[in-house]
Chains A and B, each alone.
Chain A
Amino acid sequence: MIEKMVTILADEFEVETSEITADAPIKETLHLDSLSLVDMVGLVDEEFGVTIQNSEIATIRTFGDLYEFVYARLA
């Protein structure tokens, strides 16, 4: 799952896959603002069938947080 996540995020947001590490901050790494954050949420929903609610997004700061969130929902 992590490998797929890294690939689709790097492709969509035009960053190097090497930048997407577990402890890297998502918003800064993917150059997201409050608007484009919704594009990451949409991508995760589309690719993994996992919906991140607005109330949950604040708890997801790093890619590690994101992997844990998606794992938990897929489990």
Chain B
Amino acid sequence: MNNRRVVITGMGIYSCLGKTLDEVKEALYTGKSGIVFDPVRKEMGFQSGLTAKLDTPNLKGIVDRAHRVYMSEEAQYAYLATADALKMAGLDQAYINAHPVGLLYGNDSSADAVVKSVDVMREKKNTRLVGSGAIFQSMNSTVTMNLGCLFKLRGINMTVSAACASGSHAIGLASLFIKWGLQDCIVCGGAQEVNPFSIGSFDGISAFSTREDAPTRASRPFDRDRDGLVPGGGAATVILESYESAVKRGAPIIAEVLGYGFSSNGDHISSPNVDGPRASLEMALREAGVSIEEIGYINAHATSTHIGDTNEAKAIYSVFGDKMPYVTSTKGQTGHEMWMAGASEVIYSILMMKNKFVAANLNFENPDEDSAKLNIPGKRVDNYEFDTFLSNSFGFGGTNSTLIIKNL
């Protein structure tokens, strides 16, 4: 079996922290929050009107009308993030036309198009009135079917649906395709819609923070007084490539994917446990061939829920013990970017690694019994050089993914 090195040669992002890598780096550095209060959600009967704030993309003049109607909200975010990532990687259309570039992207819903189509069908009793784009916007694979056509990609093409670990698993799986020699280059990442329809049922199970009087303080991973997550979204794309291919092309080599770990809890559908995440962490370390001392930073999954953050803290402590590196959850700034999070948090971590800082775990004011055992900075850590980080992503149904990435 091949055992090729897998590197990252491009990144692009569309998030509540910014639409360029520079904007996002600056937001991480200054501790900007992307969270707002949305009164429309209250009118819709939401318990919490909190959400990340994203601008609606305007692709008019960029993508022709005939194709735009096929693009869901999250596909639009992903298109912009991917265009930037391809540009950074130096992957032009001539290269893509001559090589089978793959596509593995995390996404696990496309509710807005589904709801609007059903509304039309119920009211009009005529399926033809839902329009030509509805089917392509409604399917979970809306992102990959759109990106594959728009960028004329001809390699592996599929969506990874694994709840809030989707983006991380997409990168992990892509790394295996390249490691095993099945692909030289894969566009991967994660996307998340931000419209109210997509998370109304999530609000219904009281998963969200109700700290509506202080939106920027609502998402507070690991803090003793956390009261739930804040939904966010957007899209993040990373270009994975074999080291040989990147060198041959003269591409910018940003970092290396050293290891991918995964596990399934086989337990409760919404409550995470400790053993599943721990198994994912341990597998990633084994696959990466690194010791715990070599991990300079952990980007935790921690979403600001009580049980989730507690059990992740226990899992991290059980693996790292007194060799604890800095641990933060960037969700304090972004809210929970769900299907996108595993990919965006790799980008956030790389930006911090490249710029030698660890952003403050926003709103971490008081630890609880378990988070006190981690090394969580409530303030930004400056002049901190680390060359290897670990990123956790866990999802409903007990799916776990861990990536270990090294600076190059």
Q: Which A residues lie at the B interface, using CB under 8 A? A: 13-14, 31, 33, 35-39, 41-42, 45-46, 51
Contact = CB atoms under 8 A, between A and B. Distances in A.
B131 A39 contact: yes
A51 B133 CA distance: 19
A21 B65 CA distance: 21
Contacts of A35: 132
Given A13-B65, A33-B66, A38 B126 contact: no
Given A45-B126, A51-B126, A38 B65 contact: no
Contacts of B133: 39
B182 interface: no
A38 B131 contact: yes
B64 to A, nearest CB: 8
Q: Which 3 A-B pairs have the closest CB atoms?
A: A35-B132, A14-B65, A42-B129
Given A36-B66, A37-B132, 16 more contacts: A13-B65, A14-B60, A14-B65, A31-B64, A36-B69, A36-B132, A38-B131, A38-B132, A39-B131, A41-B128, A42-B128, A42-B131, A45-B124, A45-B126, A45-B129, A46-B129
B126 A39 contact: no
> Which of the four size classes fits the interface of chain B?
10 to 19
A38 B69 contact: no
Interface in B108-149: 124, 126, 128-133
Q: Label chain A's interface by main secondary structure.
A: helix
Contacts of B128: 38, 41-42, 45
A45 B124 CA distance: 10
Interface of B: 60, 64-66, 69, 124, 126, 128-133
Nearest to A14: B65
Contacts, number: 30
A38 B60 CA distance: 21
A15 B66 CA distance: 12
A33 B133 CA distance: 12
17 contacts: A13-B65, A14-B65, A31-B66, A33-B66, A36-B69, A38-B128, A38-B132, A39-B69, A39-B131, A39-B132, A41-B128, A42-B129, A45-B124, A45-B126, A45-B128, A45-B129, A46-B129
A42 B126 CA distance: 10
Contacts of B66: 31, 33, 36
Nearest to A40: B132
Contacts of A37: 132
A41 to B, nearest CB: 6
B71 to A, nearest CB: 14
B128 to A, nearest CB: 5
A46 B120 CA distance: 11
A41 B130 CA distance: 11
A51 B127 CA distance: 12
A42 to B, nearest CB: 5
Nearest to A31: B66
Nearest to B68: A14
Contacts of A33: 66
A51 B129 CA distance: 10
A71 to B, nearest CB: 21
Contacts of B130: 42
B295 to A, nearest CB: 50
Nearest to A35: B132
Nearest to B65: A14
Contacts of A39: 69, 131-133
The listed residue with most B CB atoms (<10 A of its CB), out of A37, A38, A46, A51, is A38
A35 to B, nearest CB: 4
Nearest to A46: B129
B150 to A, nearest CB: 16
A36 B160 CA distance: 28
Contacts of B65: 13-14, 31
